[in-house]
Amino acid sequence: MRKIGEMFETYQLQSLLDNFQALLEREKDDHLKLEDYIKQISTALNDYTHLTYALDTAVIVAATDTSGKIIYANDKFCGISKFSREELIGKTHKILNSGYHDPSFFKKMWKKIKEGKVWEGEIKNKAKDGTFYWVKTTIVPLKDANGIPNMFMALRTDITEGKLAQEKLVGALQNDFRTVVNSMHNLIFKVARNSQNEFVYVLNEGKLAYHLGLEKDKMKNKSPKDIYPVQLAKMLEEKYEKAFEGNNVTYDYSFNDKQLLTYLSPVYRDNIVVEIIGCVNDITELYDAQEKVKFMAFHDNITNLPNRRKFIEDVSGFITQSKLNNGKFAVFFLDLDRFKQINDSFGHKVGDNLIKEVSHRLKKVVEPAGRVYRLAGDEFIIVYPNIEDENIISQYAQIISAAFDTVFKLSYHLEIYTSTSIGVSIYPDHGKDYDTLLRNADIAMYAAKTNRNSVFSIYRPEMNKNQEEALLIEHHLRKAIEQNELELYYQPKLDLNTKQINGVEALLRWNNYLLGNVPPDKFIPIAEDTGLIIKLDEWVLEKACQQNKEWNDAGFSNPIKMAVNISPLHFRLSHFEDVVKRILDKTGLEPSLLEIEITENSFIDNHEECIACLTKLKDIGISVAIDDFGKGYSSLNYLRKFPINSLKIDRTFIQEVSENNEDIAIVKAITHLARELNLKVVAEGIETKEVIRILEELGCDEIQGYYISKPLPKKRFEESYEQMNYCSDFQ
């Protein structure tokens, strides 16, 4: 193998050497001429040495013989191809074939260089590591003394970056073109720089151009300033400048009543961006849909008033502004009087129409001084910024109240009178966040409802009394089911004989958007006092049966029984058993997997009706348990008469059973009594393992309490079920 320098000597210095040889034979004594030729040769060799160094540094050089085998490869060739020189020598260029070029491409190339002609072109090669690279190639045939090529010298330069960018652009343009062809709603344009370095449009095509009033003669060879408003033109030029820097750019803007989305792609020539291509899409419908969704997210769908989410967002702004100005603003909480009766009497359609008319009237008397929001149902919020004193609050409240003095004329010639109660809280006196301000305005509103001498009340701390709290709870409890605020938690029961979970008690939990998590011991008594417990218990019963059906169908390790507490009020009404049957039929739950828990108070006043109802429930397979047994004074008198299955010993006897002999005696007596009556004994309130040991000795059947598990929401109960079943602490 000859080095490239040796090739240059053979083919380019041959004539100089021939002359030198002839000189030696003719003029052996002419040392002057000999020295001159030696100097010429030395200079020429130095020049060729420099040339080969420059080539090896700047150019990818390879030489092949006439069969195509590589006989020389410089370092730059090895570097770009990722092959070593030993791996390349003796191989053909097929080792670099990327598969990109058609076989005819190389066939034409070989035909030309074998004819002794120079070939130039661009080739996509594949490196050893699988990556691709592009080279601009010149192949020079080297000829022998007879003018026949006997070697080929390939000189290449790396153009990978520019070609890959070009491929990407071509792909993008092809995709854009397909979109244009398929949708026929795009605008394709090209932007170049003129002699003054200004951006001008050199192409615009597509039907969208006509919809925008940008036909060819109105756009071509014109600058953005010639076409668009000043601010829009300035924005477009900024985007074009960014694209000319080699970036792909996406942006949207409004023009001629349309919302437009534009993509910009730079076009390269010799690694320089010479123009950009843009594709414009009409996204007006999508934009309008997004705006509609955004509007719906922050506005009520009946009145189009801003909703609670918007109120929260706006109050944050009011708070920030008030802090800067050291000012105040007022939150008015409005609730329509007798709205439930109107809804129940005339239907929800009339109720919705009334809400619309109220919203129109409120906007008319409130704006622009204040902003009106619909919170939920018949509740409205009004915010008045920049409140200086309470006198102006009174004036605003009187104006609002007066708006209800006139009858509301609804459809079908229906006329309805209604009034409103108004509660007011002031920032920052009554709260420094939206939640506190809203809650205190709500409390003040209920104070106004109870005070018939005033149409509004401004919040005072002393309003937080039990009576007003009860009114507040009652008001929100009436809407809790419709507003999806109720949830069931589940507390398991453990069979002391099998150490397995064999039952679960459904416990009602309520999380209100204003009151937060309301404890059952607060809202259950209020629900019973107001009669709301009937509706709540039916909801609990249906949800619990539905859940137990799902769990047992899902294949829990053993069937579990669902226990549901039922208020004594149900037994003052007729046919409670029909309600239970209807729910069982609806949910498909087996009656044997339902247990009704009642308190001793259930049968104090109406034991005959209660006995009849419970007997019917037991006949269809439903279990009955007496909850909190031991608290009632008359339980033993009626115990033998009632068709019950188990007794749940009140937790007050269980919690100190490990320390109090009297409690042990009571539990022992109850257990013995239950055995005589063939009843199961359940202990609740278990908090220690020591209590479990004592209860086992006393013969208790089932236990329930925090030591086993506290009440859990559905998902957490499902996750803990198997773990509780195999917990070593219960073994």
Mean pLDDT of 366-370: 90
> Quick one: 339 and 191 in the same domain?
no
Kindly report the three-state secondary structure assignment for every residue of 561-623. Answer: EEEEECCHHHHHCCCHHHHHHHHHHHHCCCHHHEEEEEEHHHHCCCHHHHHHHHHHHHHCCCE
Q: What is the pLDDT of residue 51?
A: 61
Statement: residue 7 has pLDDT above 80? no
Confidence at residue 601, expressed as pLDDT on a 0 to 100 scale: 63
pLDDT given for residue 24 in this prediction: 58
CA distance 564 to 583: 13
Let me know whether 222 and 245 are in one domain. yes
Q: Average pLDDT in the 110-137 region?
A: 92
Does 630 lie in the same domain as 703? yes
Judged against a pLDDT cut of 60, whether residue 634 lies above it is answered with no
Domain termination residue (choose one: 100, 135, 158): 158
Q: Are 560 and 501 in contact (CB under 8 A)?
A: yes
Could you give the angle at which helices 466-477 and 532-554 cross, rounded to 10 degrees?
50
Quick count: other Cβ atoms within 10 Å of Cβ 608?
9
- Rounded Cα gap, residues 473 and 526, in angstroms: 8
Q: Is residue 473 part of a domain?
A: no
Q: What's the confidence (pLDDT) of residue 203? A: 82
Average pLDDT over residues 117-122: 92
632 and 601 in one domain?
yes
Structure tokens at 459: 């919040």
* 380 located within any domain: yes
pLDDT tens readout for residues 425-463: 999 989 889 899 999 999 888 888 766 566 788 998 888
Dist. CA 327–CA 386, nearest whole Å: 6
| Residue 39 within a domain | yes
- pLDDT of residue 42 exceeding 70, the answer is no
Q: Do residue 132 and residue 232 come from a single domain?
A: no
pLDDT: which is higher, 114 or 210:
114
Model pTM greater than 0.95? Answer: no
What is the span of the domain harbouring residue 169? 163-287
pLDDT at position 212 is 82
Using left for φ > 0, alpha for ψ between -120 and 50, and beta otherwise, residue 511 falls in beta
How many C-alpha atoms does 57 have within 13 Å on its Cβ side? Answer: 6
Q: How many domains does the chain have?
A: 4
The CATH number covering residue 54 comes to 3.30.450.20
pLDDT tens digit string along 57-103? 778 889 999 999 999 999 889 999 999 999 999 999 999 999 888 88
Q: Are 272 and 314 within one domain?
A: no
* 167 and 147 within one domain: no
Return mean pLDDT, the chain: 83
- Looking at mean pLDDT, say which of 110-119, 250-259, 273-282, 670-679 comes out highest: 110-119
Question: H-helix or E-strand containing 646?
Answer: strand 646-649
Confirm whether 292 is domain-assigned: no
Q: How confident is the model at residue 48 (pLDDT cuts 50, 70, 90)?
A: low
Among 126-135, 293-302, 306-315, 383-392, the range scoring the smallest mean pLDDT is: 293-302
Give 190-203 pLDDT, tens digit per residue.
899 988 889 999 88
CATH of residue 535's domain is 3.20.20.450
State whether 554 and 441 are in the same domain: no
Please report the pLDDT score of residue 360 as a whole number: 92
pLDDT bracket for residue 182 (50, 70, 90):
very low
Cα angle, residue 626 at apex, residues 494 and 509 outer, rounded to 5°: 70
Of 2-11, 430-439, 458-467, 656-665, the range with the highest mean pLDDT is: 430-439
Question: Is a pLDDT exceeding 60 seen at residue 177?
Answer: no
User: How far apart are the C-alpha atoms of 646 and 627, rounded to whole Å?
Assistant: 9
116/202 same-domain check? no
615 plus 531 within the same structural domain? yes
CB distance 150 to 66 below 8 Å: yes
Q: Which residues pair with 510 in a beta bridge?
A: 486, 518
246 closest CA partner among 263, 264, 275, 266: 266
630 shares a domain with 502: yes
Buried b (16+ CB within 10 A) or exposed e, 541-553: bbbbbbbbbebbe
**471 belongs to a structural domain:** no
Of the three residues 232, 264, 287, the one that is the final residue of a domain is 287
- What tokens does 18 get? 């021939």
Task: Look at phi and psi of residue 201 and say left if phi exceeds 0, alpha if psi is from -120 to 50, else beta.
Answer: beta
pLDDT at 605 over 70: no
The closest of 459, 557, 445, 456 to 499, measured between CA atoms, is: 557
Q: How far apart are CA 444 and CA 471, in angstroms?
A: 11
Q: Is residue 533 part of a domain?
A: yes
Are 574 and 661 in a shared domain?
yes
Task: Find out whether 441 and 424 touch, Cβ atoms under 8 Å.
Answer: yes
* 502 touches 708 (CB < 8 A): no
Residue at a domain's end among 287, 315, 347: 287
Q: Determine which of 484-493, 567-576, 679-688 has the lowest per-residue pLDDT on average.
A: 567-576
- Per the CB < 8 A criterion, the answer to whether 212 and 227 are in contact is no
**635-671 burial: b if 16+ Cβ within 10 Å, else e:** beebbeebebebbbbbbebbbebbeeeebbebbbebb
Enumerate residues 6+ apart whose C-beta is below 8 A from 523. 473, 477, 510
The tens digit of pLDDT for each residue in 538-582 reads 999 999 999 999 998 887 777 899 999 998 878 767 788 899 999
Domain annotation covers residue 403: yes
Q: Is residue 109 part of a domain?
A: yes
Q: Could you give the percent of the chain with pLDDT greater than 70?
A: 83
